[in-house]
Amino acid sequence: MALKFYCYPNCNTCKKAKKWLEAHEIAFEDIHIVKNPPTKEELLNYMEKSDLPPKRFFNTSGKKYRELNMKDKIKEMTTEDMAEILASEGMLIKRPIVTDGSHVTVGFKEENFSEIWT
């Protein structure tokens, strides 16, 4: 099964991750994270499988994160609330998200990709 690769085409981190996957000849389905963000249910599943705290799924350096004042709001949010707002606004999601259905990575760190995807 090909990996699901949620990315934003103009994102440099996504470009690096895509290049890494291609260099390692790993098949993936390229999904535009803004046009087709993961659903709330998918995000809840990814949060559970990633073993990361739910707030790690937020693109904290993004313009949308600052515009919506998420830094303060996130402190009061439940995991369900976080998944719901992320599903409704793809630019809030840290990218890329890569999954094979069992494993999930958020962002791109070469050593992490090597460990999980090879």
**Residue 72 burial by CB count (10 A; 0-12/13-18/19+): exposed, middle or buried?**
exposed
Tally the domains of the chain: 1
Tens digit of each residue's pLDDT, the chain (118 residues): 689 999 999 999 999 999 999 999 999 999 999 999 999 999 999 999 998 999 999 999 999 999 999 999 999 999 999 999 999 999 999 999 999 999 999 999 999 999 999 9
pLDDT, residue 105, reads 97
Identify which of 13, 2, 29 has the alpha carbon closest to the alpha carbon of residue 112. Answer: 13
Full-model pTM: 0.93
Indicate which CATH number applies to the domain containing 22: 3.40.30.10
pLDDT, residue 1, reads 65
pLDDT, residue 110, reads 96
Residue 102 neighbours by CB distance under 10 Å:
8
Q: Which domain does 86 fall in, by range?
A: 3-117
pLDDT, residue 69, reads 94
pLDDT, residue 81, reads 97
pLDDT, residue 19, reads 97
